[in-house]
Structure 1
Amino acid sequence: MALPTTSSSAFLSYNLPIKAYGAQFKAFALQKSDKKAENTRKIAMTEDQKRRNLLGKEFEGKNHLPRVEEEANDGHRNTSDERITNSHSISDSPASATRSAVLKACSVTSGILLALGLLIREAAHIASVEGWLNLDSSSELSFGLEIWHIQLVFSIVVLVSSCRYMLLKIWPEFAESSEAANQKVLGSLQPLDYLLVAILPGISEEFLFRGAILPLLGLNWKSSLVVGAIFGGLHLDGSRKYSFAIWASLVGFIYGMATIVSSSIIVPMACHSLNNLVGGIIWRSASSSENKD
Protein backbone atom coordinates (compact mmCIF):
# COMPACT_ATOMS: atom_id res chain seq x y z
CA MET A 1 0.00 0.00 0.00
CA ALA A 2 1.47 3.11 -1.03
CA LEU A 3 1.88 5.90 1.50
CA PRO A 4 0.44 9.28 0.64
CA THR A 5 3.06 11.74 -0.32
CA THR A 6 3.12 15.42 0.37
CA SER A 7 3.94 17.34 -2.67
CA SER A 8 5.79 20.62 -2.64
CA SER A 9 2.81 22.36 -4.02
CA ALA A 10 0.65 21.19 -1.13
CA PHE A 11 3.25 22.46 1.34
CA LEU A 12 3.31 25.77 -0.35
CA SER A 13 -0.45 25.90 -0.27
CA TYR A 14 -0.39 25.66 3.52
CA ASN A 15 2.75 27.72 4.09
CA LEU A 16 1.83 30.79 2.04
CA PRO A 17 -1.21 31.74 4.13
CA ILE A 18 0.85 31.39 7.27
CA LYS A 19 3.55 33.68 5.91
CA ALA A 20 0.95 36.15 4.75
CA TYR A 21 -0.62 36.25 8.18
CA GLY A 22 2.84 36.67 9.75
CA ALA A 23 3.65 39.56 7.45
CA GLN A 24 0.35 41.21 8.22
CA PHE A 25 0.93 40.77 11.96
CA LYS A 26 4.42 42.16 11.66
CA ALA A 27 3.16 45.10 9.65
CA PHE A 28 0.43 45.75 12.22
CA ALA A 29 2.94 45.48 15.03
CA LEU A 30 5.27 47.86 13.26
CA GLN A 31 2.41 50.28 12.66
CA LYS A 32 1.44 50.14 16.33
CA SER A 33 5.05 50.69 17.29
CA ASP A 34 5.32 53.66 14.94
CA LYS A 35 2.15 55.23 16.35
CA LYS A 36 3.40 54.70 19.88
CA ALA A 37 6.71 56.28 18.99
CA GLU A 38 4.91 59.18 17.32
CA ASN A 39 2.74 59.71 20.37
CA THR A 40 5.79 59.55 22.61
CA ARG A 41 7.54 62.06 20.41
CA LYS A 42 4.51 64.37 20.49
CA ILE A 43 4.29 64.10 24.26
CA ALA A 44 8.00 64.81 24.55
CA MET A 45 7.65 67.81 22.23
CA THR A 46 4.66 69.05 24.25
CA GLU A 47 6.56 68.75 27.52
CA ASP A 48 9.57 70.44 25.97
CA GLN A 49 7.37 73.28 24.68
CA LYS A 50 5.84 73.69 28.12
CA ARG A 51 9.30 73.90 29.67
CA ARG A 52 10.36 76.44 27.06
CA ASN A 53 7.24 78.53 27.66
CA LEU A 54 7.81 78.39 31.41
CA LEU A 55 11.44 79.40 31.04
CA GLY A 56 10.42 82.18 28.66
CA LYS A 57 7.92 83.58 31.17
CA GLU A 58 10.49 83.43 33.94
CA PHE A 59 12.99 85.21 31.72
CA GLU A 60 10.46 87.89 30.81
CA GLY A 61 9.57 88.24 34.47
CA LYS A 62 13.20 88.73 35.37
CA ASN A 63 13.59 91.29 32.61
CA HIS A 64 10.38 93.02 33.64
CA LEU A 65 11.30 93.19 37.33
CA PRO A 66 14.14 95.71 36.90
CA ARG A 67 11.86 97.75 34.68
CA VAL A 68 9.19 97.80 37.38
CA GLU A 69 11.82 98.67 39.96
CA GLU A 70 13.20 101.35 37.67
CA GLU A 71 9.72 102.81 37.20
CA ALA A 72 9.19 102.70 40.95
CA ASN A 73 12.54 104.39 41.48
CA ASP A 74 11.66 106.97 38.85
CA GLY A 75 8.38 107.61 40.64
CA HIS A 76 10.21 107.95 43.93
CA ARG A 77 12.76 110.29 42.36
CA ASN A 78 9.97 112.36 40.82
CA THR A 79 8.20 112.55 44.17
CA SER A 80 11.46 113.53 45.86
CA ASP A 81 12.13 116.16 43.19
CA GLU A 82 8.63 117.57 43.70
CA ARG A 83 9.20 117.72 47.44
CA ILE A 84 12.55 119.43 46.96
CA THR A 85 10.97 121.89 44.51
CA ASN A 86 8.13 122.59 46.92
CA SER A 87 10.57 123.03 49.78
CA HIS A 88 12.61 125.48 47.67
CA SER A 89 9.45 127.34 46.77
CA ILE A 90 8.46 127.55 50.39
CA SER A 91 11.92 128.58 51.51
CA ASP A 92 12.14 131.24 48.78
CA SER A 93 8.86 132.87 49.77
CA PRO A 94 9.17 135.47 52.59
CA ALA A 95 8.17 133.98 55.93
CA SER A 96 6.35 136.07 58.54
CA ALA A 97 7.79 136.23 62.04
CA THR A 98 5.37 135.45 64.84
CA ARG A 99 3.36 138.30 66.31
CA SER A 100 4.93 137.97 69.76
CA ALA A 101 8.45 137.87 68.28
CA VAL A 102 7.85 141.03 66.24
CA LEU A 103 6.35 142.97 69.14
CA LYS A 104 9.09 141.84 71.52
CA ALA A 105 11.88 142.71 69.08
CA CYS A 106 10.31 146.09 68.38
CA SER A 107 10.00 146.94 72.08
CA VAL A 108 13.47 145.72 73.06
CA THR A 109 15.22 147.37 70.11
CA SER A 110 13.41 150.65 70.66
CA GLY A 111 14.40 150.61 74.32
CA ILE A 112 18.05 150.04 73.43
CA LEU A 113 18.06 152.86 70.88
CA LEU A 114 16.45 155.26 73.35
CA ALA A 115 18.99 154.37 76.02
CA LEU A 116 21.86 154.83 73.57
CA GLY A 117 20.47 158.19 72.48
CA LEU A 118 20.17 159.35 76.09
CA LEU A 119 23.73 158.23 76.78
CA ILE A 120 25.11 160.16 73.80
CA ARG A 121 23.15 163.30 74.67
CA GLU A 122 24.29 163.15 78.29
CA ALA A 123 27.90 162.56 77.28
CA ALA A 124 27.71 165.48 74.84
CA HIS A 125 26.29 167.71 77.57
CA ILE A 126 29.07 166.80 80.00
CA ALA A 127 31.70 167.32 77.31
CA SER A 128 30.22 170.72 76.50
CA VAL A 129 30.20 171.77 80.16
CA GLU A 130 33.80 170.66 80.61
CA GLY A 131 34.81 172.53 77.49
CA TRP A 132 35.71 169.47 75.47
CA LEU A 133 33.04 170.20 72.84
CA ASN A 134 31.44 173.45 71.76
CA LEU A 135 28.15 171.73 70.88
CA ASP A 136 25.57 170.69 73.46
CA SER A 137 23.00 168.52 71.70
CA SER A 138 20.55 168.78 74.56
CA SER A 139 20.33 172.54 74.07
CA GLU A 140 20.52 172.64 70.26
CA LEU A 141 17.36 170.59 69.76
CA SER A 142 14.19 170.90 71.78
CA PHE A 143 11.04 168.83 72.21
CA GLY A 144 8.79 171.74 71.33
CA LEU A 145 6.07 171.68 68.68
CA GLU A 146 4.63 174.70 66.92
CA ILE A 147 1.78 175.07 64.45
CA TRP A 148 4.01 175.37 61.45
CA HIS A 149 5.80 172.21 62.58
CA ILE A 150 2.55 170.34 62.03
CA GLN A 151 2.34 171.73 58.51
CA LEU A 152 5.95 170.68 57.90
CA VAL A 153 5.23 167.18 59.18
CA PHE A 154 2.18 166.85 56.93
CA SER A 155 4.15 168.01 53.89
CA ILE A 156 7.01 165.58 54.53
CA VAL A 157 4.62 162.65 55.07
CA VAL A 158 2.90 163.36 51.76
CA LEU A 159 6.25 163.76 49.98
CA VAL A 160 7.81 160.56 51.36
CA SER A 161 4.68 158.44 50.91
CA SER A 162 4.21 159.65 47.32
CA CYS A 163 7.84 158.98 46.42
CA ARG A 164 7.70 155.52 47.95
CA TYR A 165 4.51 154.69 46.05
CA MET A 166 6.09 155.73 42.74
CA LEU A 167 9.29 153.79 43.44
CA LEU A 168 7.27 150.66 44.16
CA LYS A 169 5.80 150.95 40.66
CA ILE A 170 8.96 151.71 38.70
CA TRP A 171 11.75 150.01 40.70
CA PRO A 172 11.24 146.21 40.83
CA GLU A 173 14.15 145.55 43.18
CA PHE A 174 12.88 148.12 45.65
CA ALA A 175 9.36 146.68 45.41
CA GLU A 176 10.67 143.16 46.06
CA SER A 177 12.80 144.28 48.98
CA SER A 178 9.96 146.28 50.53
CA GLU A 179 7.53 143.40 50.13
CA ALA A 180 9.93 140.97 51.80
CA ALA A 181 10.52 143.32 54.73
CA ASN A 182 6.83 144.11 55.17
CA GLN A 183 5.83 140.46 54.97
CA LYS A 184 8.43 139.50 57.55
CA VAL A 185 7.50 142.22 60.04
CA LEU A 186 3.83 142.99 59.39
CA GLY A 187 2.50 139.66 58.10
CA SER A 188 1.43 138.27 61.49
CA LEU A 189 0.32 141.50 63.18
CA GLN A 190 -3.16 142.62 64.15
CA PRO A 191 -4.42 146.03 62.94
CA LEU A 192 -3.79 147.77 66.28
CA ASP A 193 -0.26 146.37 66.38
CA TYR A 194 0.61 148.63 63.46
CA LEU A 195 0.47 151.63 65.79
CA LEU A 196 3.08 150.08 68.06
CA VAL A 197 5.53 149.04 65.32
CA ALA A 198 5.11 152.41 63.61
CA ILE A 199 5.47 154.72 66.61
CA LEU A 200 8.14 152.99 68.73
CA PRO A 201 10.79 152.80 65.96
CA GLY A 202 9.87 156.29 64.78
CA ILE A 203 10.53 157.76 68.20
CA SER A 204 13.60 155.74 69.19
CA GLU A 205 15.43 155.88 65.84
CA GLU A 206 14.94 159.61 65.43
CA PHE A 207 15.95 160.26 69.01
CA LEU A 208 19.25 158.46 68.40
CA PHE A 209 20.14 159.54 64.85
CA ARG A 210 18.66 163.02 64.58
CA GLY A 211 18.44 163.90 68.27
CA ALA A 212 21.86 162.69 69.43
CA ILE A 213 24.26 161.83 66.58
CA LEU A 214 23.37 164.67 64.19
CA PRO A 215 24.19 167.50 66.65
CA LEU A 216 27.60 165.95 67.34
CA LEU A 217 28.54 166.27 63.66
CA GLY A 218 26.91 169.67 63.23
CA LEU A 219 23.47 170.89 62.27
CA ASN A 220 24.04 171.29 58.52
CA TRP A 221 23.13 169.45 55.34
CA LYS A 222 26.49 167.64 55.12
CA SER A 223 26.03 166.15 58.57
CA SER A 224 22.46 165.29 57.66
CA LEU A 225 23.72 163.44 54.59
CA VAL A 226 26.30 161.48 56.60
CA VAL A 227 23.85 160.53 59.33
CA GLY A 228 21.31 159.59 56.67
CA ALA A 229 23.85 157.26 55.03
CA ILE A 230 24.57 155.60 58.38
CA PHE A 231 20.86 155.28 59.00
CA GLY A 232 20.31 153.68 55.58
CA GLY A 233 23.23 151.29 55.91
CA LEU A 234 21.83 149.91 59.15
CA HIS A 235 18.64 148.99 57.29
CA LEU A 236 20.49 146.32 55.31
CA ASP A 237 19.62 142.77 56.33
CA GLY A 238 18.59 139.45 54.78
CA SER A 239 15.24 140.65 53.47
CA ARG A 240 16.15 144.29 52.67
CA LYS A 241 18.64 144.88 49.88
CA TYR A 242 20.71 147.87 48.75
CA SER A 243 17.71 149.44 47.07
CA PHE A 244 15.97 149.67 50.42
CA ALA A 245 19.13 151.03 52.07
CA ILE A 246 19.36 153.76 49.41
CA TRP A 247 15.76 154.69 50.05
CA ALA A 248 16.28 154.75 53.82
CA SER A 249 19.35 156.97 53.37
CA LEU A 250 17.34 159.46 51.31
CA VAL A 251 14.52 159.50 53.84
CA GLY A 252 17.05 159.87 56.66
CA PHE A 253 18.51 162.91 54.93
CA ILE A 254 15.02 164.46 54.64
CA TYR A 255 14.36 163.83 58.34
CA GLY A 256 17.71 165.39 59.19
CA MET A 257 16.93 168.54 57.23
CA ALA A 258 13.51 168.72 58.92
CA THR A 259 15.29 168.53 62.27
CA ILE A 260 17.68 171.34 61.33
CA VAL A 261 14.93 173.57 59.97
CA SER A 262 12.56 173.10 62.92
CA SER A 263 15.19 172.76 65.71
CA SER A 264 12.79 170.20 67.18
CA ILE A 265 13.27 166.48 67.59
CA ILE A 266 9.50 166.02 67.64
CA VAL A 267 9.21 166.86 63.93
CA PRO A 268 11.34 163.95 62.60
CA MET A 269 9.77 161.63 65.18
CA ALA A 270 6.28 162.50 63.93
CA CYS A 271 7.32 162.25 60.27
CA HIS A 272 8.96 158.87 60.75
CA SER A 273 6.10 157.39 62.77
CA LEU A 274 3.37 158.60 60.40
CA ASN A 275 5.25 157.40 57.33
CA ASN A 276 5.65 153.98 58.95
CA LEU A 277 1.94 153.88 59.69
CA VAL A 278 0.89 154.99 56.21
CA GLY A 279 3.20 152.47 54.58
CA GLY A 280 1.89 149.67 56.78
CA ILE A 281 -1.75 150.51 56.08
CA ILE A 282 -1.14 150.65 52.32
CA TRP A 283 0.66 147.30 52.39
CA ARG A 284 -2.07 145.63 54.44
CA SER A 285 -4.77 146.98 52.14
CA ALA A 286 -2.93 145.74 49.05
CA SER A 287 -2.32 142.32 50.62
CA SER A 288 -5.99 141.97 51.57
CA SER A 289 -7.05 142.82 48.02
CA GLU A 290 -4.67 140.21 46.57
CA ASN A 291 -5.98 137.53 48.95
CA LYS A 292 -9.57 138.26 47.93
CA ASP A 293 -8.66 137.95 44.25
Structure 2
Amino acid sequence: MLLLGLSFGEAHLGRDLLLALGLLLGLWGLEHLFRRLFPRSFAEAESLHQELGRALKQGGVGPPLLLLLALLSGVAEEVFFRGLVQGLLVSWLGGVGVFLQALLFALLHPAPRRAFAYPLYTWVAGLLFGWAYLLTESLLPGILAHFLHNARGFYELWREA
Protein backbone atom coordinates (compact mmCIF):
# COMPACT_ATOMS: atom_id res chain seq x y z
CA MET A 1 0.00 0.00 0.00
CA LEU A 2 2.81 2.36 0.85
CA LEU A 3 4.56 1.69 -2.47
CA LEU A 4 1.35 2.68 -4.29
CA GLY A 5 0.91 5.78 -2.15
CA LEU A 6 -2.26 4.40 -0.56
CA SER A 7 -3.18 4.77 3.06
CA PHE A 8 -5.83 3.36 5.30
CA GLY A 9 -7.31 6.85 5.33
CA GLU A 10 -7.89 9.09 8.31
CA ALA A 11 -8.08 7.26 11.61
CA HIS A 12 -11.75 6.81 12.45
CA LEU A 13 -11.51 3.41 14.10
CA GLY A 14 -15.03 3.38 15.53
CA ARG A 15 -16.60 4.37 12.21
CA ASP A 16 -14.43 1.91 10.29
CA LEU A 17 -15.27 -0.99 12.61
CA LEU A 18 -19.00 -0.24 12.40
CA LEU A 19 -18.84 0.01 8.63
CA ALA A 20 -16.86 -3.27 8.44
CA LEU A 21 -19.57 -4.95 10.51
CA GLY A 22 -22.23 -3.45 8.25
CA LEU A 23 -20.40 -4.69 5.15
CA LEU A 24 -20.04 -8.16 6.64
CA LEU A 25 -23.74 -8.33 7.53
CA GLY A 26 -24.58 -7.03 4.05
CA LEU A 27 -22.51 -9.81 2.45
CA TRP A 28 -24.23 -12.46 4.56
CA GLY A 29 -27.63 -11.02 3.69
CA LEU A 30 -26.66 -10.96 0.03
CA GLU A 31 -25.66 -14.64 0.20
CA HIS A 32 -29.04 -15.58 1.67
CA LEU A 33 -30.88 -13.50 -0.91
CA PHE A 34 -28.97 -15.06 -3.80
CA ARG A 35 -29.51 -18.55 -2.35
CA ARG A 36 -33.28 -17.91 -2.50
CA LEU A 37 -33.39 -16.04 -5.82
CA PHE A 38 -31.03 -18.31 -7.75
CA PRO A 39 -31.09 -21.72 -5.99
CA ARG A 40 -29.68 -23.80 -8.87
CA SER A 41 -26.98 -21.33 -9.76
CA PHE A 42 -26.04 -20.84 -6.12
CA ALA A 43 -25.94 -24.63 -5.58
CA GLU A 44 -23.58 -24.94 -8.57
CA ALA A 45 -21.25 -22.30 -7.10
CA GLU A 46 -21.39 -24.03 -3.70
CA SER A 47 -20.48 -27.37 -5.30
CA LEU A 48 -17.41 -25.75 -6.88
CA HIS A 49 -16.48 -24.28 -3.51
CA GLN A 50 -16.89 -27.71 -1.87
CA GLU A 51 -14.41 -29.15 -4.38
CA LEU A 52 -11.99 -26.40 -3.38
CA GLY A 53 -12.53 -27.26 0.29
CA ARG A 54 -11.77 -30.94 -0.35
CA ALA A 55 -8.63 -30.04 -2.30
CA LEU A 56 -7.42 -27.75 0.51
CA LYS A 57 -8.04 -30.39 3.16
CA GLN A 58 -6.38 -33.14 1.09
CA GLY A 59 -3.42 -30.82 0.60
CA GLY A 60 -2.98 -30.59 4.36
CA VAL A 61 -4.16 -26.99 4.65
CA GLY A 62 -5.57 -26.32 8.12
CA PRO A 63 -7.29 -23.40 9.86
CA PRO A 64 -4.12 -21.35 10.56
CA LEU A 65 -3.15 -21.32 6.89
CA LEU A 66 -6.77 -20.64 5.89
CA LEU A 67 -6.78 -17.56 8.14
CA LEU A 68 -3.58 -16.35 6.51
CA LEU A 69 -5.04 -16.98 3.05
CA ALA A 70 -8.20 -15.08 4.02
CA LEU A 71 -6.13 -12.16 5.34
CA LEU A 72 -3.84 -12.01 2.31
CA SER A 73 -6.70 -12.24 -0.19
CA GLY A 74 -8.77 -9.63 1.66
CA VAL A 75 -5.89 -7.16 1.87
CA ALA A 76 -4.65 -7.76 -1.68
CA GLU A 77 -8.10 -7.49 -3.29
CA GLU A 78 -9.06 -4.35 -1.39
CA VAL A 79 -5.74 -2.65 -2.10
CA PHE A 80 -5.86 -3.61 -5.78
CA PHE A 81 -9.54 -3.22 -6.67
CA ARG A 82 -10.57 -0.37 -4.39
CA GLY A 83 -7.31 1.40 -3.65
CA LEU A 84 -5.64 1.21 -7.04
CA VAL A 85 -8.25 0.44 -9.73
CA GLN A 86 -11.13 2.38 -8.20
CA GLY A 87 -8.81 5.23 -7.25
CA LEU A 88 -7.66 5.59 -10.86
CA LEU A 89 -11.13 5.11 -12.39
CA VAL A 90 -12.84 7.55 -10.03
CA SER A 91 -10.19 10.18 -10.71
CA TRP A 92 -10.82 9.78 -14.47
CA LEU A 93 -14.56 9.03 -14.60
CA GLY A 94 -16.03 10.10 -11.28
CA GLY A 95 -18.57 7.82 -9.58
CA VAL A 96 -18.81 5.57 -12.64
CA GLY A 97 -15.41 4.24 -11.58
CA VAL A 98 -17.04 2.46 -8.63
CA PHE A 99 -19.27 0.47 -11.01
CA LEU A 100 -16.37 -0.34 -13.32
CA GLN A 101 -14.07 -1.58 -10.56
CA ALA A 102 -16.92 -3.79 -9.29
CA LEU A 103 -17.37 -5.16 -12.80
CA LEU A 104 -13.65 -5.96 -13.02
CA PHE A 105 -13.83 -7.53 -9.55
CA ALA A 106 -16.68 -9.79 -10.76
CA LEU A 107 -14.95 -10.66 -14.03
CA LEU A 108 -11.87 -11.79 -12.12
CA HIS A 109 -14.04 -14.08 -9.93
CA PRO A 110 -15.24 -16.33 -12.77
CA ALA A 111 -17.61 -19.27 -12.55
CA PRO A 112 -19.16 -21.63 -15.11
CA ARG A 113 -22.30 -20.41 -16.86
CA ARG A 114 -24.50 -22.58 -14.65
CA ALA A 115 -23.20 -20.62 -11.64
CA PHE A 116 -24.01 -17.18 -13.12
CA ALA A 117 -25.17 -15.90 -9.71
CA TYR A 118 -21.61 -15.98 -8.33
CA PRO A 119 -20.19 -13.25 -10.59
CA LEU A 120 -23.38 -11.26 -10.02
CA TYR A 121 -22.90 -11.67 -6.28
CA THR A 122 -19.25 -10.57 -6.50
CA TRP A 123 -20.28 -7.55 -8.61
CA VAL A 124 -22.72 -6.40 -5.92
CA ALA A 125 -20.13 -7.12 -3.22
CA GLY A 126 -17.61 -5.05 -5.20
CA LEU A 127 -20.13 -2.20 -5.30
CA LEU A 128 -20.59 -2.38 -1.52
CA PHE A 129 -16.83 -2.36 -0.91
CA GLY A 130 -16.37 0.40 -3.49
CA TRP A 131 -19.04 2.66 -2.00
CA ALA A 132 -17.57 2.14 1.48
CA TYR A 133 -14.15 3.20 0.21
CA LEU A 134 -15.59 6.13 -1.74
CA LEU A 135 -17.47 7.40 1.33
CA THR A 136 -14.69 6.95 3.88
CA GLU A 137 -11.47 7.09 1.84
CA SER A 138 -10.37 4.25 4.11
CA LEU A 139 -9.50 0.71 3.02
CA LEU A 140 -9.82 -0.59 6.57
CA PRO A 141 -13.59 -1.34 6.57
CA GLY A 142 -13.32 -3.29 3.32
CA ILE A 143 -10.21 -5.15 4.42
CA LEU A 144 -11.76 -6.20 7.72
CA ALA A 145 -15.07 -7.28 6.18
CA HIS A 146 -13.37 -9.02 3.26
CA PHE A 147 -11.00 -10.88 5.60
CA LEU A 148 -13.78 -12.00 7.96
CA HIS A 149 -16.04 -13.02 5.07
CA ASN A 150 -13.27 -15.05 3.41
CA ALA A 151 -12.16 -16.58 6.73
CA ARG A 152 -15.69 -17.80 7.47
CA GLY A 153 -16.08 -19.13 3.95
CA PHE A 154 -12.71 -20.89 3.88
CA TYR A 155 -13.29 -22.45 7.29
CA GLU A 156 -16.78 -23.68 6.34
CA LEU A 157 -15.41 -25.22 3.13
CA TRP A 158 -12.59 -26.92 5.01
CA ARG A 159 -14.85 -28.17 7.83
CA GLU A 160 -17.46 -29.59 5.45
CA ALA A 161 -14.88 -31.31 3.21
TM-score over 0.5 for the pair? yes
Q: Does 1:173 align with 2:34?
A: no
Q: Which of 229, 241, 248 is the aligned partner of 2:103?
A: 229
Report Cα offsets for 1:131-171 as digits up to 9, x if no partner.
xxxxxxx3xx5224421110110111011112213322442
- Asked if structure 2 preserves the Cα contact closer than 8 Å seen for 1:228 and 1:256, the reply is yes
Which residue of the partner structure matches residue 265 of structure 1? 139
Tell me, in whole angstroms, the C-alpha distance in 2 between the residues paired with 1:174 and 1:224.
26
Q: Specify every segment of 5 or more residues in structure 2 that has no aligned partner in the other structure, as ranges.
A: none
> 1:206 aligned to 2:78?
yes
% of aligned pairs identical? Answer: 22
| 4+ residue segments displaced more than 4 Å | 237-240, 282-285
Flag the 1:192–1:165 CA change in 2: closer, same or farther, 3 A: farther
User: Residues 154, 200 of structure 1: CA spacing in aligned structure 2 closer, same or farther, 3 A cutoff?
Assistant: same
Residue 247 to residue 223, structure 1, CA distance change in 2 (3 Å): same
Unaligned runs of 5+ in 1: 1-113, 122-137, 289-293
- In the TM superposition, what are the counterparts of 1:43-122 in structure 2 within 5 Å? 121=4
Number of aligned pairs? 152
Aligned to 2:14: 147
State the 1:283 CA deviation: 4.5
Which one has the largest radius of gyration? 1
Instruction: Name the amino acid aligned to 1:155.
Output: G
Tell me: CA distance 1:210–1:247, structure 2 relative to 1, closer, same or farther (3 Å).
same
* Higher RCO (CA < 8 A, seq sep 6+): 2
Alpha-carbon deviation of 1:271? 1.6
The SS at the match of 2:63 is coil
Contact 1:180–1:239 under 8 Å retained in 2? no
Specify the SS of the correspondent of 1:227: helix
Aligned pairs for 1:239-278 within 5 A: 241-278=115-152
> Given that residues 23 and 142 in structure 2 are in contact (C-alpha distance below 8 angstroms), is that contact kept between their aligned partners in structure 1?
no
TM-score w.r.t. the length of structure 1 is 0.46
Deviation digits for residues 44-100 of structure 1 (CA, Å, limit 9, x no counterpart):
xxxxxxxxxxxxxxxxxxxxxxxxxxxxxxxxxxxxxxxxxxxxxxxxxxxxxxxxx
Query: Among 190, 209, 213, which residue is 2:62 paired with?
Result: 190
Paired AA for residue 86 in structure 2:
L
Q: Match of 1:192, SS? A: helix
Distance, in Å, in 2 between the alignment partners of 1:162 and 1:255 is 15
